[in-house]
Amino acid sequence: MVGDGRVRTPRAAEPRPAMPVPLLPEAVPAADVTGGTAAGRRQSRRHRLASLGVLVPVAIVGLFPFYWMITTALTPSAAAIRVPPTLFPLDATLDNLRSLFAQAPVLLWAFNSLLVATAIMVGHVIFDSMAGYAFARKRFPGKGLFFTLIVGSLMIPVHVTLVPRFILITNLGLNDHLLGVIAPSIADVFGIFLMRQFMQSLPVELEEAARVDGASEWQVFWRIVMPLSRPAVATVGIFSFVGAWNAFLWPLIVLSDRNLLTLPVGVALLQQEFSSNIGLQMAGAVVGAVPMILLFLLFQRHFLEGVRVGALKG
């Protein structure tokens, strides 16, 4: 209070000017940026070289059997058993392939394998997806117990079920018939597990929105869930097709007619029919491997994505 009776309010303290903050890239010391970038590049280059140092030998070891199979198929029968063996076919020829198609119904065996593998693949995609959707989205009594039992059946050896399956197929009159090879394999535990894990990662809101719009349960599954599950469906399809194409033991037990044999069984029986001709057998193995290589190259992106998501989820 001053002498004239007025109250003087204290003046606010004036703020001190802030120190300027360098915002331009030129304000940062150039030596630090250059040094950090160069160090990062050197470290990244070391990581790439280390990865190549590990992956290249592994790739060579993994691809060597395929290379040996092709070179043996192009080598004459007398030179195929040469000791020591040669890594490069100096006298390459197509005689083994010509003899294979001339002495055995390879195209018929390949067609049988294609029919069996396609039917099993379609069955896996349909039934494994439906079962995986039920375990991922539906609620029913004993859901956890049933899923545990299904996954636990992976621990049962396949050979234990051969006799019961053969008796069942014989009683149904499907012995020595391609349907007897297809019927026991139209569903798979691994496919159910993979589809269930993948479908659990899908957003539930899309399904709820479809139900609000009046979609039925089948429409939700077929038009919403299945298109979103393409990576997992491709993975199940590739696994099932490759497994059915390369199956040997069960088709050998069920089929006896020479015209109904699948390609792996027919190629294996060449050793009994035409003595031990290694070049002929390798030529048959090449014919059976080419479709599988092409299938993987066409769908490898979906295959890797499905395996990644199925492994990380759950």
- Decide: 116 and 291 in contact? Cβ < 8 Å: no
Cα-to-chain-centroid distance, residue 157:
22
Q: Which residues contact 206 (CB under 8 A, 6 or more apart)?
A: 224, 228
Q: Which domains does the chain have, with CATH numbers?
A: 96-312 (1.10.3720.10)
The confidence band for 311, taking pLDDT boundaries of 50, 70 and 90, is low
Averaged over 147-173, what is the pLDDT?
Answer: 90
If you average pLDDT over every residue of the chain, what do you get?
81
The confidence band for 287, taking pLDDT boundaries of 50, 70 and 90, is confident
Averaged over 174-197, what is the pLDDT?
Answer: 91
Side-chain-side CA neighbours of residue 308 (13 Å): 7
The confidence band for 306, taking pLDDT boundaries of 50, 70 and 90, is low
* For helices 189-200 and 230-246, angle between their N-to-C axes, nearest 10 degrees: 170
Q: Dump pLDDT digits (tens) for 4-37.
A: 555 455 454 455 555 554 544 444 454 455 556 7
- Decide: 249 and 243 in contact? Cβ < 8 Å: no
- Decide: 102 and 85 in contact? Cβ < 8 Å: no
pLDDT for the residue numbered 112:
94
* For helices 230-246 and 263-273, angle between their N-to-C axes, nearest 10 degrees: 20
pTM: 0.76
The better pLDDT of the pair 304, 128 is held by: 128
Q: Is the model's pLDDT at 166 over the cut of 60?
A: yes
Going by the DSSP 8-state scheme, the letter that residue 90 receives in this structure is: T
Closest CA to 177 of 264, 266, 263, 262: 262
What count of residues does the chain have? 314
Kindly tell me the number of DSSP H helices and DSSP E strands found in the chain: 16, 0
